[in-house]
Structure 1
C-alpha cells in the first residue's frame, strides 16, 4: 500500500499558500432545514453572494497553546512550510448586508472580469470570470448579516 508522505503534503500546502485565496459566501439552498453534508465532489457554491480576498495567509502547526483556534484544534504560526495552511478572512460591514449565509467556500485561482479595479478585495459574483478551484466547502447554520457586524472567518487546511 502506498502512502502520501508529510513532505508530499507540505509540497501541496506550499503550492496553496503561494496563491491568492478567496472566501466565497452564499445563500445555499433556502430549503435546507439543517446544513447538509458537504459533498467531496463539490466544485462551486449553490448560490454565491460575494468573494473576499484572504487577509492573513500562512503556515501553521498544531500546538495546544497556540493562538490560532479553529474547530478541531489549536495551532501556532510557522515561518517554515508545514502541511497546514492558515487563512483569515474579514468581511466589511456592508458586504452582503441583510442576506442569510448558509455556505462558505475557499477558492484558489479565482479570476475576475475587467470591470474589477486593481486592489479590490470584495467582488460580487457577476464580476467573477471564474471562481477557480474549490478547496474547502462549509455548510452551516443560517447566519443573518446584520448592520454593525463585521464577520471574520478562520480556517486551517491540512494536507
Structure 2
C-alpha cells in the first residue's frame, strides 16, 4: 500500500499557496433553510455565486493545542516553514454582498478576475471574474442575511 509522505503533502500545500486564493459566497437554494443539504465531494462550483473575496492572509500552520488559530477542525499555530497545512483568512467589507442571503461558501484556488477589474480590488461580483478557479472546499451553512453593519470574517485550514 502506497502512502502520501509528509514532504509530498508539503509540496501540495506549496503548490496551492502559490496561487490566488478566494472565498466565493452564494445564495444557494431557499429550500436549504428547511431541508438540510450535504456537501458533495464531486461539486465544482457554487449553486448561486454572489461574489468572490481575495484572501487577506494565507499562512502555513501546524496543529498546536495552544495555537492562536481556532477553526472547527482544531487549533493551529502559524509557521514560517512550509507545512502540509494552509491557513486562509477572508474579511468581507460592509458592502460586500449587501442585502443578500448567504447559504454556501467555496474556497477557490486559481481565481482570476477580468483584466478590466481595477487593480487592488479584493471583492468581485461574478461578472468580474474571468476564471473562478478550482473549488477546494465547499460549505453549506444556515442562511445569513448580509446587513450593512456587519463585516464577515471566515477562516479555514486546508490540510494535505
TM over 0.5: yes
Q: Alignment length, in residue pairs? A: 159
- TM-score w.r.t. the length of structure 2 is 0.96
**Secondary structure, aligned partner of 2:29:** coil
CA drift at 1:115: 2.3
Q: Which structure 2 residues correspond to residues 126-141 of structure 1 after superposition, within 5 A?
A: 126-141=127-142
Which residue matches 1:16? 16
Which residue matches 1:51? 52
Mapped partners of 2:35, 2:83: distance in 1:
35
Structure 1: tracts of 5 or more residues without a match: none
Residue pair 1:34, 1:141 contacting (<8 A) in 2 also: no
CA-based RMSD of the aligned residues comes to: 0.9
CA drift at 1:56: 0.5
- TM-score w.r.t. the length of structure 1 is 0.97
**Secondary structure, aligned partner of 1:31:** helix
CA offsets per residue over residues 53-77 of structure 1, 9 Å max, x none? 0001010000000010000200000
Mapped partners of 2:25, 2:145: distance in 1:
12
Which residue matches 2:118? 117
Query: Runs of 4 or more off by more than 3 Å in structure 1?
Result: none
**Secondary structure, aligned partner of 2:31:** coil
